Structure 1
């Protein structure tokens, strides 16, 4: 695809891929539990979220939480504590299930019945790049009207599809859309 950067950061520019910034913002909108899983309160909150219904338990198993119901009951009762590996599995399953649960809501909220959501794109940080090699890249805003593919890729955890979906939207910036493949931040709120 034209405009893709092959050697990003060669001269000292700093930034992240645009789709990674979008994923961070969607994670912030998803409203995860703030208490870490390593704290008892955080573990209990995640376990209650993952075990509150049969559907939630099935989704947690599909997301990789493979411990038995008896083990989960022991964790909830406090008679046993999970290992680091199991804590990581609980956190991963929680995030996966939470993404799946809020994806439909976020899509509707961001699409706003076809009106879309205004997105601010903050360009790469070129402060470490020598003056003759700096590009003229500026802060841009755009209105994204179709969030379905972006949110679906985020919910599925598919980075490649999320990148393609984001590039499909950024192309609307015009002939210099490739300058916004890497950014310092992408901001939007709904």
Structure 2
């Protein structure tokens, strides 16, 4: 696509890719368990979420939690504690399963029966860029009506697909859409 930034930040601009900001906001909307996994309460909440049904257990196994049912029962009973490696696997499986479970709900809320959701795009921080090299970019809003591909790529944790889906949406900003490939923040609500 034209207008893709090749050397972003070369002159001191600061920001993140737009699709990464969208993924962060979708993660916020997913409502993950706030208690850290290192606390007993956080670990138990995640384990209960991943083992509450046969379907949840199968999804956890598909997401990478490959320990036996006996080990999970020992963790739930407090007889054993998972290793650091297993804590990482539990967290990863929990986030993957949670994303998958909430994706359809988010698509429905964000599409809002065809009305879409207003997205606020905050441009890159150019405070460290020398004056002659600064671009004139401003805060923009955009109404995104089709969230299916964006949420699907987010749920699958596919960065390239999410980047492509987000770029297809920001093209609606007009001829200057490339200026919003990198941003400081993207905000929207569901």
Structure 1 segments (4+ residues) deviating >4 Å: none
TM-score w.r.t. structure 1 length?
A: 1.00
Structure 1 partner of 2:100: 100
Structure 1 partner of 2:158: 158
1:174: Cα distance to partner? Answer: 0.0
SS in 1 for 2:137: coil
Structure 1 partner of 2:50: 50
The alignment's C-alpha RMSD in Å is 0.3
Q: In the alignment, does 2:32 pair up with 1:41?
A: no
1:124: Cα distance to partner? Answer: 0.2
Structure 2 partner of 1:133: 133
Q: In the alignment, does 2:120 pair up with 1:120?
A: yes
1:9: Cα distance to partner? Answer: 0.2
Alpha-carbon distance in structure 1 between the residues aligned to 2:187 and 2:84: 33
SS in 2 for 1:121: strand
Alpha-carbon distance in structure 2 between the residues aligned to 1:111 and 1:132: 41
**Cα-to-partner distance string for 1:24-76 (whole Å, 9 max, x where unaligned):** 00000000000001110000000000000000000000000001000000000
Structure 2 regions of 5+ residues with no counterpart? none
TM-score w.r.t. structure 2 length?
A: 1.00
Structure 2 partner of 1:78: 78
SS in 2 for 1:184: strand
Alpha-carbon distance in structure 2 between the residues aligned to 1:50 and 1:155: 16
